[in-house]
Structure 1
Amino acid sequence: MTGISDLGTLLAGLRPEPDPTRYGFVTAERALLAPYADTALMIFHEREGTTLILPWQEAVAADLDPVFPCRRITLAIHSSLEAVGFMAHVAAALAAESIGCNPVAGYFHDHVFVPEDRLGDALAALKALARANGREFD
């Protein structure tokens, strides 16, 4: 099942869906990863260390010192991993409202992590982007 790569279709079909869970970014040594494999939304290995996105409360309970209290917004349209410009438009819409974001691409959808206290503003900005490209919301 391949995703959509046409930018116009992606922007017009964009349906931002907020996740109710509060997340945080943590870094941990690989040896400590096993307990979090099932609950981490992302595990990414870099030269300097390993980054995990975990539910905030789980990270705090494990003394992992989470940073960036955030919420995930799923961009609910099956975007191709090779789509060009989609995330650039999403990031630009958020930047226009002074909202930082951390994007993550999954196989089926793109996701953006936004500051928890800006979730409402981020959803409004993304819906405005979709509306500007022909999307209607109920």
Structure 2
Amino acid sequence: MTGISDLSTLLAGLRPEPDPVRYGFVTGPDAALAPHADTALMRFVEAEGTTLILPFEAAEAAGLDPVFACRRITLAIHSSLEAVGFMAQVAATLAAEGIGCNPVAGYFHDHVFVPEDRLGDALAALKALARTSGREFD
């Protein structure tokens, strides 16, 4: 099953869905983080160390020193991994509101992690983007 690659269709069909969980990013040697990998929302390995995205409180309880208290917004439309410009448009929309984001692509959806205190602003900006592209919200 392939996703949608047409930018207009992606933007018009964009449905931002907030995750109720507060997340944080942690980093360290892969071996040190291995016990937490199964509970991570994401694991990414770089030359400097492994990054996990974990529930913030769980990371603190494990003594992992999480940074970037954030919330995930799922961009609920099945985007193609080869779609051009979708995440760029999302990031530009958030940047115009002064909201930093950390994007992550899954097979079915793209996700953005935004500062938890800007979640409402980010959702409003993304819904406005979808509306200007043709989507109606209740």
TM-score by length of 1: 0.98
Partner SS state of residue 84, structure 1: coil
Alignment of 1:111-130 (within 5 A): 111-130=111-130
Give me the identity figure in percent: 85
For residues 58-114 of structure 1, give each alpha carbon's deviation from its aligned partner in whole angstroms, at most 9, with x where no partner exists.
100011000000000000000000000000000011001000000000000000000
Name the counterpart of 1:59.
59
TM-score by length of 2: 0.98
Alpha-carbon distance in structure 1 between the residues aligned to 2:77 and 2:39? 23
Would you identify which runs of 4 or more consecutive aligned residues in structure 1 move more than 4 Å?
A: none
Which amino acid in the other structure matches residue 88 of structure 1? A
Question: What stretches of structure 1 of length at least 5 have no aligned partner?
Answer: none
Alpha-carbon distance in structure 1 between the residues aligned to 2:54 and 2:28? 12
Name the counterpart of 2:133.
133
- Equivalenced residue count is 138
CA-CA distance at 1:39 after TM superposition: 1.5
CA-CA distance at 1:29 after TM superposition: 1.3
Which amino acid in the other structure matches residue 54 of structure 2? L
Partner SS state of residue 88, structure 1: helix
Question: What stretches of structure 2 of length at least 5 have no aligned partner?
Answer: none
Partner SS state of residue 44, structure 2: strand
Superposition RMSD on alpha carbons, in Å? 0.7
Name the counterpart of 2:39.
39
Alpha-carbon distance in structure 1 between the residues aligned to 2:80 and 2:103? 15
